[in-house]
């Protein structure tokens, strides 16, 4: 109760800026918060038995569809049997499901490696494309791995391209000018991520979910994700899936309008969030990435390597120690988030668009989403709906 009172008192004493709504005020409070102090006393931690924090009474157990995913298929994706998952919801947020790390020990390595080594490659689209040629961004991993491998030896070196990466889009690529997806801006969606997403969606009661578009966020310790709603998909009846890896962060889940104060919660490595139904179109944001209390180190769940032998039909692959050395160096001061969504309803097609709009292509001009506090120049936002 002491931490709760201190946290609420700190928010209450924070002066409201002119024109600032309730969501923006809490976003600013947590962006300025100090880890290890009472500032974070109001943040729900779902990794505790039933969540902790002053609003933990809002935490309820969520029922999963255990029979919808076989133990074998869960294992193929690197997940524990669904019967052993813990899933929670929040009173007042129907359709929101939080699953604390359901991954088998060591299997997060695969998804981290995919985000850094494979998904960042062409033909996928990233924030660096606006300022660099396709040749320069052809293989960010190869250009960056030696920099990252010896990062601790040479701390004054220039940042590698992977460290400059802020977002990557998969599948249907978003047109940041028109705020729409379209049929002619598409590259094949990764089959392993599609399989993982289908299993998680099915476990949450959404059989038949089709992973059609993804946005990968690459956070540095000073990065934030602005307040937004994911509403550009043509079918909102399907859930939005979010997978977190690396350093922890604070996630804010608000209401339909920004004058509703949001609920704060921690996202730790391996955690999965599902936004569906009423919660599918709520405002949300990430005001802060939290550095490890142990200095530059990895979360404990990332210290264990994957088993030497994987299921024969697994979609995950072994990660070499050489590759993991690069991934670990990156994640000691970073966080990666994968969001996956279904764009179209079954048998739905994109509406016909004027020819000129289809020719505009993919651009990041004019939008800012994933920001670094130390930068005085707004960076290209990764979310389409801010």
Write down the H helix ranges in the chain.
2-13, 22-31, 71-76, 108-113, 140-149, 161-164, 191-203, 321-331, 355-358
**Which tens digit of pLDDT belongs to each residue from 194-239?**
999 999 999 999 999 999 999 999 999 999 999 999 999 999 999 9
Tell me whether residue 268 is annotated as binding: no
Secondary structure (3-state) at 151: coil
**CA gyration radius for the chain?**
20
Task: Tell me the pTM.
Answer: 0.88
**Which tens digit of pLDDT belongs to each residue from 56-105?**
778 999 999 999 999 999 999 999 999 999 999 999 999 999 999 999 99
Between CA 248 and CA 268 the distance in angstroms is 5
| Residue 12: band (very low, low, confident or very high) from pLDDT cuts 50, 70, 90 | low
Worst-scoring range by mean pLDDT, 73-77, 308-312, 330-334? 308-312
Between CA 244 and CA 25 the distance in angstroms is 25
Between CA 179 and CA 18 the distance in angstroms is 29
Tell me whether residue 371 is annotated as binding: no
User: What is the sign, positive or negative, of the torsion defined by CA atoms of 248, 249, 255, 256?
Assistant: negative
Cβ contacts of 168 within 8 Å, gap of 6 or more: 115, 119, 120, 124, 125, 126, 215, 216, 218
Q: Record the tokens describing residue 272, joined without a space.
A: 């999965």
Between CA 131 and CA 21 the distance in angstroms is 35
Between CA 175 and CA 125 the distance in angstroms is 11
Cβ contacts of 59 within 8 Å, gap of 6 or more: 44, 46, 50, 51, 88, 89, 90
Tell me whether residue 323 is annotated as binding: no
User: What is the sign, positive or negative, of the torsion defined by CA atoms of 179, 253, 342, 379?
Assistant: positive
Paired strand residues for 193: none
Looking at every residue in the chain, the average pLDDT score rounds to 87
Spell out the SS3 assignment of 161-216: HHHHCCEEEEEECCECCCCECCCCCECCCCHHHHHHHHHHHHHCCCCCCCCCEEEE
| Domain 22-34+42-341 in this protein, CATH class | mainly beta
């Amino acid at each position: 109760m002491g931490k709760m009172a201190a946290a609420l008192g700190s928010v209450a004493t924070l002066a409201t800026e002119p024109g600032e709504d309730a969501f923006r005020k809490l976003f600013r409070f947590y962006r300025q918060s100090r880890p290890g102090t009472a500032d974070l006393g109001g943040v729900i931690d779902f990794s505790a038995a039933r969540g902790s924090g002053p609003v933990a009474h809002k935490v309820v157990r969520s029922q999963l569809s255990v029979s919808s995913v076989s133990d074998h298929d869960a294992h193929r994706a690197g997940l524990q049997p669904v019967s052993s998952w813990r899933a929670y919801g929040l009173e007042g947020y129907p359709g929101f499901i939080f699953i604390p790390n359901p991954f088998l020990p060591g299997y997060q390595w695969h998804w981290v490696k995919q985000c850094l080594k494979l998904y960042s490659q062409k033909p996928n689209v990233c924030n660096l494309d606006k300022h660099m040629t396709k040749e320069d961004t052809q293989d960010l991993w190869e250009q960056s791995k030696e920099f990252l491998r010896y990062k601790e030896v040479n701390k004054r070196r220039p940042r590698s391209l992977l460290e400059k990466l802020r977002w990557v889009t998969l599948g249907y690529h978003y047109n940041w000018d028109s705020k729409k997806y379209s049929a002619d801006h598409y590259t094949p969606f990764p089959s392993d991520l599609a399989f993982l997403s289908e299993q998680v969606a099915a476990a949450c009661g959404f059989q038949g979910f089709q992973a059609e578009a993804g946005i990968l966020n690459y956070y540095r310790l000073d990065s934030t994700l602005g307040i937004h709603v994911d509403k550009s998909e043509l079918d909102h009846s399907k859930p939005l899936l979010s997978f977190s890896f690396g350093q922890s962060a604070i996630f804010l889940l608000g209401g339909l309008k920004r004058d509703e104060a949001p609920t704060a919660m921690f996202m730790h490595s391996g955690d999965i969030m599902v936004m569906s139904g009423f919660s599918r179109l709520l405002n949300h944001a990430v005001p802060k990435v939290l550095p490890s209390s142990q200095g530059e180190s990895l979360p404990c769940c990332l210290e264990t390597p994957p088993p030497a032998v994987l299921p024969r039909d697994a979609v995950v692959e072994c990660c070499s120690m050489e590759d993991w050395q690069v991934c670990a160096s990156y994640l000691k001061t970073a966080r990666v988030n994968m969001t996956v969504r279904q764009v179209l309803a079954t048998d739905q097609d994109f509406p016909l668009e004027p020819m000129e709009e289809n020719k505009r292509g993919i651009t990041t001009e004019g939008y800012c989403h994933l920001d670094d506090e130390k930068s005085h120049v707004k960076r290209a936002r990764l979310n389409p709906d801010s």
